[in-house]
Amino acid sequence: MIQDKAQKEDAMVVFSPSGKRGRFPISTPVLSAARSLGVDVDSVCGGRAICGRCQVLVSEGEFAKHNIVSRTTNLSPRGEAEQRFVLKRGLGGNRRLSCQATLQADVVIDVPASSQVHQQVVRKPHEAHDIDINPVVHAYFVEVAQPDMRIPSGDLQRLYEALKNEWQLDSLSCELHVIQTLQGSLREGDRQVTVAVRNAEHIVAVWPGFTEHLYGVAVDVGSTTIAAHLCDLTSGEVLGSAGKMNPQIRFGEDLMSRVSYIMMNPGGEADLIGTVRKAISELVEEVSAQARIEPIDVVEMTVVGNPIMQHLVLGINPVELGTAPFALANDAAVDVLAADIGIAINPGGHVYGLPCIAGHVGADCAGVLLAEAPYDRDEVSLIVDIGTNAEILVGNRDRLLAASSPTGPAFEGAQISSGQRAAPGAIERVRIDRETLDPRFKVIGCDLWSDDPLFAERAAAPGITGICGSGIIEVVAEMYLAGIIDQNGRISGDGCSRSPRIIKDGRTFAYVLHDGQPVIQILQNDVRAVQLAKAALYAGARLLMKRFGVDKVDRVRLAGAFGAHIDGKYAMVLGLIPDCDVEQVSSAGNAAGTGARIALLDRRARPHIEAQVRQIEKVETAVAEGFQNHFVAAMAIPHQTDSFDELAKVVELPANKEVQPTGGRKRRAR
Ligand code: FES
């Protein structure tokens, strides 16, 4: 028979979902029982019924397995402190503060996810897995002893003493700014303060009274855009996000022209360094305003970026990365005071920069690696982050390889006659009728296809201004599928008799995609620029696959803002990526930014990614044997020799004709 209230001196408590259990003397606080069993229950205020982080729930009912009849009355009734908390902040349902409720009889206690120190943030569907919350900075509430003339010590020492006694934090240190503001905080908080402690060893900030939330910002510094996400370090929730164009663009569109600016203007690195830091600080202000906090409330930041951006944020001249052998000043992770690199968050806040992988494979790729975790899988993944340099990862739990390949700015709209960045008015989707060769398309800012009767009206606002990267991929792929271009990428003059959309353009031909204002044409040179870009990426991927020892990968993940908009099927028709089950080609979203967020929220992710990056095999495509051959073969659409059997299951590919190698053209220098 199941025992009801045990007439004993101790009580059995079972915690769910951990299943940990043990016997404790009657009147033991539930939080103490949890602690001694190693059950994960949070607390900031040290059991003073202030923070509300320690909430638990009694699971009511008969638990035959544990021989327990569990009732809410098996805990002590709410005392004064808990009542005060309920009045002030409320306690949902039958929740109790585990620091206040004591064991009166056998009971089953449920610890909700929100009360667990290491809770998880459920990530978006396209993201690889949930994020564990275990930030590097924690808040501790303490009451600091009053000064005593008989014990002549400083208030900082009294603060250390309180943190040691209440939270077992030993060997603490702090920067001068903490000492400068400490006595003011102690006075204002009537000796009660909340202390932000980093890595259980360094005091970041001291606030008067009880402060519940700590904030951090994850930053992704791209050469075109910079994005920042403000996170609650306790819940992992993203409270604000903002992005802006990288203002360094005025020193050069692409990375290499910015490095040239430094080479040609002695001391010019200071301009680029100051510009990017200012932009990051402005983004911190913007996301802080969204969450109604101040930048000074931000106690931690993580940064990912390509090697040149990572160097500039840290104040390192990146000229060595401009020429072979592309030497990084440092490839390890960095952990510096934000104030030391001129970024305006809390003066005690730190910036953690993820490690760079190689001269052209940056901390942004380390972020992608952390977010995608291909090292946790048996299947072989190909992960590409497409920018002016494509960063490529191939591997699984046994082995991982990384490289970058110089795709150039074609997919960002540069080097394409009607190309533009992805912005309202840009053509992003294209279909071409196989018979009439008439196109229909979609522009960013309008949901309708261009052959919809309402299109003209709805697209009037964004207009039709050019073609962006995903549109470029689709239009060239569709031109190939419709027979407008052959496998060599040549626009054939034969098409002139098939459609007035194929027109003569000097000694070559062009395809008129939009005959309006402006006229949007795809010129032969545009197709060549796309071929060069896609061949660079494909060749890099094939090189890594060959080194890994596979002809096919099991899955392809397209990372980055551009990757998120590419249709995997068209990427394959073009031969941007190797053949793969089309169902297994997907967007990884902004994986670099997600990696920065993971490193912000989970301290264990930092040594983890540092170890992974050390193990990764770096391949330098510029000197890799066989790269040039892969590149030449990849100039054909989709490829000179590689088969696309998986793609052929879902797309009717034109019959292969004899392909002339287009190897006379060297790939561009980085
Ligand atoms: S530990 Fe803070 S309210 Fe219980």
Q: Is the CB of 55 under 6 A from ligand 1?
A: no
The CATH code of the domain at 136-208 is: 3.10.20.880
What is the mean predicted confidence (pLDDT) over 186-191? Answer: 97
Q: How many angstroms does the Cα of residue 553 sit away from the middle of ligand 1?
A: 50
Q: 124 falls in which pLDDT band (50, 70, 90)?
A: low
| Dist. CA 285–CA 279, nearest whole Å | 10
Three-state SS sequence of 92-131: CCCCEECCCCEECCCEEEECCHHHCCCCEECCCCCCCCCE
Q: Given a cut of 70, is residue 666 above it in pLDDT? A: no
Ligand 1 pocket test: which of 32, 50, 138 has the largest number of ligand atoms within 8 Å of its C-beta? Answer: 50
Atom of ligand 1 nearest to the CA of 47: 1
Per-residue pLDDT for 657 more than 70?
no
Q: Is the pLDDT of residue 668 over 70?
A: no
Q: What kind of fold does domain 371-409+539-648 have according to CATH? A: Nucleotidyltransferase; domain 5 (3.30.420)
pLDDT for 3 equals: 46
Q: Where in the chain is the domain with CATH 3.10.20.880?
A: 136-208
54 lines ligand 1 (CB under 6 A): yes
Average pLDDT (265-280) is 92
Q: Looking at the predicted structure, is the pLDDT value of residue 388 above 80?
A: no
Phi, psi of 194 (to 5 degrees): -110, 130
Looking at the chain, the domain(s) classified CATH 3.30.420.480 span 221-356
CATH number of 10-115: 3.10.20.30
Atom of ligand 1 nearest to the CA of 100: 4
Q: How sure is the predictor about 129, in pLDDT bands with cuts at 50, 70 and 90?
A: low
CATH architecture of 221-356: 2-Layer Sandwich (3.30)
Q: How far is 106 from 569, CA to CA, in rounded Å?
A: 59
97 pocket-lining for ligand 1 (C-beta < 6 Å): yes
Measured in angstroms, how far is the CA atom of residue 292 from the centroid of ligand 1?
Answer: 25
Pocket test of ligand 1: the residue of 39, 41, 54 to mutate, having most ligand atoms within 8 Å of its CB, is 54
**Cβ 70 under 6 angstroms from ligand 1:** no
Q: Extract the tokens encoding 318.
A: 């990146």
Q: Which helix (H) or strand (E) holds 239?
A: strand 238-245
Predicted confidence at residue 10, as pLDDT, reads 93
How large is the average pLDDT for residues 430-447? 95
- The amino acid at 72: T
Ligand 1 centroid vs 7 CA: distance in angstroms?
Answer: 29
Q: Which pLDDT band holds residue 406 (cuts at 50, 70, 90)?
A: confident
Neighbour order of strands in the sheet with 173-174: 137-143, 192-198, 202-208, 173-174
- For the stretch 36-88, pLDDT in tens is 998 988 888 989 999 998 999 999 999 988 899 999 999 999 999 999 999 98
pLDDT tens profile 464-499: 999 998 999 999 999 999 999 999 999 988 888 889
Mean confidence (pLDDT) of the chain:
90
Q: State the CB neighbour count (10 A cutoff) for residue 59.
A: 18
Q: Mean of the pLDDT values across residues 139-165? A: 93
In this model, does residue 146 exceed pLDDT 70?
A: yes
Residue 661 confidence (pLDDT) above 80: no
52: Cβ below 6 Å to ligand 1?
yes
CA of 159 to the centre of ligand 1 (A): 20
The tens digit of pLDDT for each residue in 373-387 reads 999 999 999 999 987
